[in-house]
Amino acid sequence: MNIKETTETVIQFILNLIEKAKGYVDDIIEFFSKIRDRIESFLEYIEEKLAAITGFIEELKQQQAEHMLAV
């Protein structure tokens, strides 16, 4: 192999590595995007449950206050 062929081979090898790295980076970005979406969904679920619990506690407080007035 002459210098030109060697240089072209090395450059092609580097370009292939760069393409593979781009693919890995895209996969990593997609992975973390999915995790972010799942975390956001989970946080929304928690917010809904907290709102339900808060409503339940307020209802209990109201019933307790009404009970105390009745006694």
Structure tokens at 57: 């506690």
Q: pLDDT tens across 4-29, in order?
A: 999 999 999 999 999 999 999 999 99
Q: Which helix (H) or strand (E) holds 47?
A: helix 3-70
pLDDT grade for 66, boundaries at 50, 70 and 90: confident
Per-residue burial over 41-64, b = 16 or more CB atoms within 10 Å of its CB, e = otherwise: eeeeeeeeeeeeeeeeeeeeeeee
16 neighbors 8 (Cβ within 8 angstroms) = no
Where does residue 2 fall: left (phi above 0), alpha (psi -120 to 50 degrees), or beta otherwise?
A: beta
Full-model pTM: 0.65
pLDDT grade for 69, boundaries at 50, 70 and 90: confident
d(CA 65, CA 71): 10
